[in-house]
Structure 1
């Protein structure tokens, strides 16, 4: 395992976590008028994202890497698409929450791919595995939106 590969994978996850944070900032407060039961879970996801970001930055620095504390281009394009899509949506609240679910699913895939890559050192693998557990838990709370109506 190469330290440069570990840092590269961790920076990719940091970009994805930054995408997650920026995506959360797009959720408008009016959504919670309809889905009051999800607000607490959402706030926890936002807080958790900040913790994940801090963890990733720490892991990168511990390995002597340069922190790439930006969002990804793919994430920026996806957020722009969401803005366009939501401008035409009949039910903006549902569309917004569906996008949260989509984003969580994408983050889960990226974190799982990172673990499967074999490029993470043991300490990084433990932290990323813990992050993945939290992502899956958050996803489970939002994935069945129709049942929550």
Structure 2
């Protein structure tokens, strides 16, 4: 399924936007209920599943064999991410009913933009739309990671998945730059 993006939590936390605070200012205990934490995980599952579908649709929309292969690989990564999130949701004692996505608010508008780009079958438009989707996904992950006291038991997983999404975004952005040259 491609390279697994290993990340050490101690290396990642300083890169979180809100980690610039003194340690005594960071929450030391969870303020969210179990149901709210499960809901956060289900929202990440929705984001991952929608990314999987987006990449699969992008692979079908492009005629470029290299991009087709790349998009299928990233779709496969999202399948792995979904399985991992399902395991963590199960550890919290519930099933993940939201296996098909269901993007919250702003991400829904992002997904509609990606679908519009796919209908044009233009690689540049597809790549640009994917960057928008990946940036929105990273914001969703950052919200949980920045609030790490609530997500301590799955923080490593979220950080690794965020790193994978970030790597995919960097790859897609570099391909956009290559197309401009």
Q: TM-score, normalised by structure 2?
A: 0.68
> Residues 28 and 114 (structure 1 numbering): CA distance in 2 closer, same or farther, change over 3 Å?
same
SS across alignment from 2:58: coil
The structure with more radius of gyration? 2
Equivalents in 2 of 1:147, 1:134: separation in Å? 20
| Structure 2 stretches lacking a partner, 5+ long | 1-29
Matched, 1:46 2:75: yes
Do the aligned residues in 1 keep the contact of 2:37 with 2:151 (CA within 8 Å)? yes
Moved more, 40-49 or 59-68: 40-49
Do the aligned residues in 2 keep the contact of 1:86 with 1:92 (CA within 8 Å)? yes
SS across alignment from 1:27: helix
| Structure 1 stretches lacking a partner, 5+ long | none
Q: Counterpart of 2:46? A: 15
Higher relative contact order (CA 8 A, sep 6+): 1
How far the C-alpha of 1:119 sits from its partner, in A, is 5.6
Q: Counterpart of 2:12? A: none
Q: TM-score, normalised by structure 1?
A: 0.81
Q: Counterpart of 1:69? A: 99
Query: For this pair of structures, how many residues does the alignment match?
Result: 145
> Residues 59 and 109 (structure 1 numbering): CA distance in 2 closer, same or farther, change over 3 Å?
same
How far the C-alpha of 1:93 sits from its partner, in A, is 1.6
